Amino acid sequence: MPAHSSALHTVAFSAAVCVVSAVLVSTAAVTLRERQAANAELDRRRNVLAAAGVIGDGETRSPGEIEQRFADFEVVAVDMRTGQEDPAFETTGYEARRAQADATASRAVPRNDAQIVRVPHYLVAYKKRDADGQLELLVLPIEGKGLWSTMYGFLALGPDLRTVRGLAYYQHGETPGLGGEVDNPRWKALWPGRDVFDEAGRPAIEVVRGRAGPPDTDPHRVDGLSGATITGRGVTAMLRFWLGGQGFGPYLERLRQEVAGGQAP
């Protein structure tokens, strides 16, 4: 075979291999992206249920069971600029972190202890109602800096919108055995029954150094994490931020007014 024919054959073969490889890689990337998105959504729902106390901490549930229990929750889009729910906003596939990084889809906030730089225009919350249609649970997304990482989680409040039903972190990079104890079921069990606001309605929840009392005598304080003071401060800061005026404060106030007015929030 002439040299030029051999060279052309080699080039053609290499090009064909590249095209086939590119198609396979692209197909795999799309397929995996869809699967990863589905798994991320399932994990988010599982953590909402855990924060709400619907499933036990670390309890293994099948995807079908998670979907069945999550069906009791109403997914709502909260306009963080107004404190109003926006029923027209499409929550399916919405990624708050991507919106947070987009200056056109988020707003800058003043410097704060939680080290939140921007708040998305929209965040997704979760409501659970009782048999009479009244609010039973409200689950809010929270985030903020710990010692080494940004911690992401959910806070569940009871129908009075001030009593903690549960707290769950689903992503963080804190030190195992120290700040990583935010995942410890024993520590998370200290949260239900705590009151996040003082008598004036200001965020007052706090992770203290050492031990706090029980919720009925020491409602605003929670035991600190041994050897993880900075992580504990981060938990305090993020909860106070998201419960305050820069976070979900206006939304919570609107829901309280609806309850006081006899409406179902």
Do 135 and 8 belong to one domain? no
**121-143 average pLDDT score:** 95
Q: Which domain holds residue 117?
A: 73-260
How high is the pLDDT of residue 204?
A: 96
Q: Does residue 239 surpass a pLDDT of 90?
A: yes
pLDDT at residue 136 greater than cutoff 60: yes
Spell out the residues 6+ positions from residue 80 whose beta carbon is closer than 8 angstroms to its own.
107, 119, 120, 121, 122, 123, 247, 248, 251
What percentage of the chain exceeds 70 in pLDDT?
83
More confident residue, 14 or 122: 122
pLDDT at 97: 94
62 and 112 in a common domain: no
**What is residue 79's three-state secondary structure?**
strand
Among 28, 53, 71, give the residue marking a domain's end: 71
Task: Give the pLDDT confidence score for residue 33 in this predicted structure.
Answer: 57
Same domain, yes or no: 169 and 182: yes
- At residue 138, the pLDDT reads 97
Residues of the chain above pLDDT 90, percent: 59
Domain end marker among 37, 71, 105: 71
Q: Are residues 105 and 151 in the same domain?
A: yes
Q: Is the pLDDT of residue 98 over 70?
A: yes
Distance of CA 42 to the CA centre of its chain: 13
pLDDT for position 39: 79
Mean pLDDT of 115-135: 95
Number of folded domains in the chain? Answer: 2
What confidence tier does 171 reach under pLDDT thresholds 50, 70, 90?
A: confident
8-state DSSP, 163: B
State residue 67's pLDDT score: 92
Q: Are residues 44 and 152 in the same domain?
A: no
Residue 84's contacts (CB-CB under 8 Å, 6 or more residues apart) are: 78, 251, 254
pLDDT digits (tens, 9 = 90+) for 5-53: 566 666 566 666 656 665 665 655 455 556 666 777 888 888 899 899 9
- Which one is predicted more confidently, 131 or 108? 108
The pLDDT of residue 73 is above 70? yes
Whether residue 116 is contained in a domain is answered as: yes
Residues forming a β-bridge with 167: 155
215 and 227 together in one domain: yes
pLDDT value of position 95: 94
Last residue of a domain, one of 18, 47, 71: 71
Q: What is the pLDDT of residue 174?
A: 80
Q: Which residue is listed with tokens 């007015």?
A: 261
Mean pLDDT of the chain: 87
